[in-house]
Amino acid sequence: MTVNKSLVVLASLRADLQREAEGDWIKYPAWKGVEFNVSALTKPEYETARDLMFKRLGQLYPESQPPKEIVTAELGSLFCDHILHGWRGLDVPYTPEVARETLTNPEYRAVVSAVEFCAVKITDIEVKFTAAEKGNSSPPSERA
């Protein structure tokens, strides 16, 4: 019996924490030519600010979920503070002021979603495998 066995290279599972924290350009596939320079949503400062935001919104809306428009605008503001560092491919050049005006406006929820998508993609890793080994395995043991 021939067995092809490929193993995952442990080192390929390592996250690039510096890149995730400092940010990098990530293409947004739904909009040809558009890229966002983002940090990861795992950035500790962002996670803390997001958790505090949800706690605050929970106190403001104790009987129900906060309105989606409010959550989107709040997340947009946090993205401006911690995640988004630039954009390319939009007809309006990136400035922190334009970004905040855009991402806190519920009418631009598609931009907030695009930034979020890219901030998730920056954490992607490329899993590598060892070369498949070919060899003979012993037959299953027979029961007596």
pLDDT at 52: 97
Residue 131 main-chain phi, psi, to 5 deg = -65, 145
The DSSP result for 45-91, as a single string, is HHHHHHHHHHHHHHHHSTTSPPPHHHHHHHHHHHIIIIIEEEEESSS
24, 118 contact by CB (below 8 A): no
**At 122, is the secondary structure helix, strand, or coil?**
coil
Inter-CA distances, 39 with 31, 71, 80, 84, 103, Å = 19, 20, 11, 7, 16
pLDDT of res. 133: 52
Distances (CA, A) of 62 to 50, 106, 116: 18, 22, 26
pLDDT reading at 140 higher than 60: no
Percent of the chain with pLDDT over 70: 88
Mean pLDDT across the chain: 90
In the three-class reduction of DSSP (H, G, I as helix; E, B as strand; rest coil), residue 41 is classed as: coil
User: What's the pTM?
Assistant: 0.81
Q: What is the pLDDT of residues 66-104, one digit of tens each?
A: 999 999 999 999 999 999 999 999 999 999 999 999 999
